[in-house]
Amino acid sequence: RRSSVEALLASQELDREVLVKGWVRTRRGNKYVQFIAVNDGSTINNLQVVADAEKFPEETLKDVATGACVAVRGTLVASQGKGQSVEIQASEIEVLGKADPETYPLQKKGHSLEFLREIAHLRPRTNTFGAVLRLRHALAFAVHQYFNDRGFFYVHTPIITGSDAEGAGQMFRVTTLPDQNPPLNEQGQVDYKEDFFGKATNLTVSGQLEGEVAAMALGKVYTFGPTFRAENSNTARHLAEFWMIEPEMAFYELEDNMGLAEDFLKYLVRYALEKCPADLQFLNDQYDKELLGRLQFIIDNDFQRLTYTEAVEILKSAKQKFEFPVDWGTDLQSEHERYLVEKHFEKPVILTNYPKDIKAFYMKLDEDGRTVRAMDVLFPGIGEIIGGSQREENLEKLQQRMQEMHVPEEELWWYLDLRRFGSAPHSGFGLGFERLVLFVTGMANIRDVIPFPRFPKNAEF
Ligand code: ATP
Ligand code: MG
Ligand code: MG
Ligand code: MG
């Protein structure tokens, strides 16, 4: 039976026969003995395989090269080498898949992250991406664990939708109409009545509106699915395809929503620290010496809460020069968000009560009629990691907001019905999963925390 590298490295049972399968990271040695580092993805650490020249003359090892896939049988023994407690004394090495060392793109020397993006099909075999992908898994699992333990139901919302939840016009159209001579309506525009669904449809930008439907029946729900935005995502924090976690809770006001967001983020960071210490240590040492300290800092500190209006005052009197000037009514840029978090408060920030004109139509209007019950959670190095709000539960006020923002009522009749029949206060938020993984891994670019990043002019893999 095959054992994982992780299990073998942690094993106390020595001097037994074992079988391990994985990919060769390096082979080195001399004419008496060869050392082969094997990794199977179960852990950041490699297992050292020792091949004595007596049993394995040089020519028998010629295909045991960096990148090859091997199956090794041998005895698990205590290791004399430093940095590992056990190793395998090999009795049999079978090459399952050869790799030509001349053309294998991953060489022993480190590669730049930019280069690795061009070989997205091989980069999971590097230490860095192994660590990132294991952390990504742990965090996804933690999301479900957190909500399941607290009585939330996981709901699946559609990928193909007819509505634009954010009203930001960043949607990818889904159509089966022909490119050549599509049917046209009387105005000479493409007639989507003739399309597959009998109307224009898009890839979803958020599962929130459908999530609200579920919350108004099941109480506490969350979605966790892919979302798509055809925005100019040429930044280190935007992808055209990303995963979003969206809890939605009946009977939660903005305060409750903020409390949940803070508790949830702390839980996720704590979970990663507990479950992936070796991967985090590696990323800390390799890329960002402050990573572990920053993660601990999130857990240990209360998030600073203040209103957008208060934040604008702080930014206006800041000594720092910003690329974009701040004025009440304009949306904050990442540089402003990071200033508040990294320079001014030196801790995570929750900003609330944004001007209504820069937020989506569904947010609950404040008494002043100018601001809405929005909340953005801002993190160091990231800026906005969560966007959320208390939702408008009053039918007339919601219709008013939709008119102001040119959101067509006919398309969202079902959404308005939630306010017509048994309306209730409710709130929710969206956490961009890749922004979370970006923060926890300390990587600099969001393209390096998803296996196959989608961004403008890139859908190779
Ligand atoms: P930003 O201001 O950074 O563009 P947003 O306000 O447009 O974000 P929301 O509509 O509030 O984003 O979406 C909720 C969350 O989804 C954000 O807080 C962020 O974590 C994440 N998110 C939004 N857009 C992207 C994107 N293009 N790529 C990755 N994550 C994103
Ligand atoms: Mg955006
Ligand atoms: Mg934003
Ligand atoms: Mg937002």
pLDDT score for 170: 86
pLDDT score for 163: 74
| Nearest ligand to the C-alpha atom of residue 235 | 1
pLDDT score for 224: 98
**Cα 331 versus chain centre, distance:** 23
- What are the structural domains, with CATH classification, of the chain? 5-104 (2.40.50.140), 125-170+205-448 (3.30.930.10)
* DSSP helix/strand/coil, 220: strand
Write the pLDDT tens digit of every residue in 284-322. 999 999 999 999 999 999 999 999 999 999 999 999 999
Q: pLDDT at residue 327 above 80?
A: yes
CB 200 within 8 A of CB 174: no
Q: State the Cα–Cα distance between residues 291 and 382, nearest whole angstrom.
A: 13
* DSSP helix/strand/coil, 419: helix
Q: pLDDT at residue 166 above 90?
A: no
* Residue closest by Cα to atom 25 of ligand 1: 238
Average pLDDT, rounded, for the chain? 95
Write the pLDDT tens digit of every residue in 246-255. 999 999 999 9
pLDDT score for 84: 86
Q: pLDDT at residue 167 above 70?
A: no
CB 374 within 8 A of CB 359: yes
ipTM of this predicted structure: 0.99
pLDDT score for 231: 87
pLDDT score for 52: 97
Q: pLDDT at residue 72 above 90?
A: yes
CB of 238 sitting under 6 A from ligand 1: yes
Q: Which of 172, 231, 242 to mutate to test the pocket of ligand 1 (most atoms within 8 A of CB)?
A: 242
Write the pLDDT tens digit of every residue in 377-422. 999 999 999 999 999 999 999 999 999 999 999 989 999 999 999 9
Angle at 382 between CA 378 and CA 387, to 5 degrees: 40
* Residue closest by Cα to atom 6 of ligand 1: 387
